[in-house]
Amino acid sequence: MQEFYKKALLALISLLVVDALLAVFFVYRTFPTQTLLPAHKDGSRWHYGTYSDVSTGGASSVRLHDTSRDRLRFDFKLKDVSAYPYVATDLVLEGDKGQPVHADWSRFRTITFVAKCAPATSLLMELSTFDEKLSKPGQYATYVPPRAYFSCSEQGMPVTLDLGRLMIPEWWFPARKQDLALQAYRLDKVAKIMFGTSTVTPRNVDAYVEISELTLHGRDYRYLAALAALVLGGWVALGVWFFFAYSRALLASVNSKMKINLPIVAYRQLTLEPYKDKEKAAVLRYIASSYTDPKLDLEAVVEGTGANRYKINEVLKSELGMTFTSYLNKLRLTEASRLLTEKSSAAVSEIAYLVGYSNVPYFNRLFKEEFGCAPKSFRMMAAQRQQPELPADSTTPEPLA
């Protein structure tokens, strides 16, 4: 059984290690993140651009700083020349050959960043998402523009925007001849991100905006469900393996115990051998003939044989290497194992009484310590072990007269 327990412990440790690795992998997949600055993945990159109200007759200015770092910064100055002055900086996604490409953000739920600006104000973040029915590739004015406003300060403010709750501006619907109630948009083809001023941005002052730590965050609980299924399957498989492996190991252990106890099974023959020491023979015979008596103890053997305690213990130690109690229990339990095998109709309590135990729970405990299983389990395994395996054409022989 020791070998089995070692294998079971190794299997348990292996399963725990595998579960831990699976948990790390699936939790990572459940909560994906993607950093957007300074560059994108898969050979694509951001093309930085700026625009202002100059195209509509305004005089606002904007200047983009070095874009090689992991932040986006632009200086600007809104001027009250046009009715609606504005400036903006956008990040357009391009392929390795400069062609416009679309990113799939459908697995992400939020976008986070740190917004720093001076003076403090409210700004705008807008996405351009491609719609097969409305948009023309590369013509971003035809893309759906969901947006959201956020605040910034000179100290820097952490911003979290829900990508599923952005709003499409009202002016876009009549411009594209769309129903104002159709506010749905998709994030599977995002072409660019734009950061710009709002109607409350201070005018006629030098200002700047800095966006850093621009990151997408997602949640996909299907991976947690898959993790739960895999972990549960692993533990069920371990349980099934443990049950069958334990049964086989226990059966092998019982067989081993039976082989070890073969000399004890033959205790009757042992005690009838002609001993030169008659007192030794008397002790062995007395114990062999009286072990089924529930009242048998060392004092009873002393009275029944006339030998002293020292002589009895010396005989048992020299002949069998056991104490009186150990030898008595060995005799009783070995006989009980034989009766359990041969008397299938006898109850366990009846067999306990037959071999000298008046306390059945005590007998069950001793039997389990000796054979590694309860008496009922021992009987079932013994029956399985002794089932004959006859050829298909064999017949039962007639009993001898």
- Residue 307 and residue 189 share a domain: no
Helix (H, G, I), strand (E, B) or coil at 36: coil
21 within domain boundaries: no
Identify whether 5 is part of a domain.
Answer: no
Give the total number of structural domains in the chain. 2
Check which CATH number belongs to the domain holding 203 and give it: 2.60.120.430
Structural domain includes residue 189:
yes
Is 23 a domain residue?
no
Q: DSSP 3-state assignment of 129? A: strand
214 and 265: one domain? no
First to last CA, the chain: 45
Residues of the chain with pLDDT below 50 are 262-263, 265-273, 275, 389-401
What ranges in 200-297 are assigned the alpha helix state H?
Answer: 222-260, 262-265, 267-272, 278-290
Q: Are residues 320 and 381 in the same domain?
A: yes
The HSE-up count of residue 342 (CA atoms within 13 Å, CB side) is 7
For position 59, what pLDDT does the model report? 93
Q: Are residues 114 and 40 in the same domain?
A: yes
* Residue 152 placed within a domain: yes
Question: C-alpha distances in angstroms, 167 versus 17, 148, 387?
Answer: 46, 6, 78
The answer to whether residues 62 and 191 belong to one domain is yes
Tell me the three-class secondary structure of 84-124, residue by residue. CCCEEEEEEEECCCCCECCECCCCEEEEEEEEEEECCEEEE
* C-alpha span between 336 and 376 (Å, rounded): 11
Pick the last residue of a domain from 188, 218, 248.
218
Please check whether residues 134 and 186 belong to one and the same domain.
yes
- Residue 372's closest CA among 208, 258, 277, 295? 258
Residues facing 92 on adjacent strands? 47, 192
DSSP H or E segment with residue 151 = strand 147-152
Range of the domain at 344: 261-385
CB atoms under 10 Å from CB of 360, counted, come to 16
Alpha carbon of 377 to those of 329, 337, 348: distances in Å?
A: 19, 11, 11
Residue 153 shares a structural domain with residue 272:
no
Instruction: Please give the torsion angle defined by the CA atoms of residues 105, 62, 77 and 113, in that order, rounded to the nearest 10 degrees.
Output: 30
Kind plus residue range of the DSSP H or E element containing 32: none
CATH of residue 283: 1.10.10.60
- Establish if 239 belongs to a structural domain: no
Q: What is the pLDDT of residue 395?
A: 46
Q: Are residues 42 and 177 in the same domain?
A: yes
- Choose among 86, 97, 274, 301: nearest CA to 195: 86
Tell me, yes or no, whether 203 and 334 share the same domain. Answer: no
Amino acid, res. 19: D
The residue to which tokens 């079971």 are assigned? 8
Are 155 and 273 in the same domain? no
Task: Flag whether 398 is in a domain.
Answer: no
What pLDDT digit, counting tens, does each position of 332-352 carry?
888 888 888 888 888 889 988
* pTM of the predicted model as reported, rounded to 2 decimal places: 0.58
Let me know whether 103 and 201 are in one domain: yes
Where is the domain boundary, 194, 218, 242? Answer: 218
* pLDDT at res. 110: 95
How far apart are alpha carbons 196 and 53 in whole angstroms?
Answer: 12
> Is 255 a member of any domain?
no
Q: Which of 159, 192, 218 is a domain's end point?
A: 218
Are 125 and 269 contained in the same domain?
no
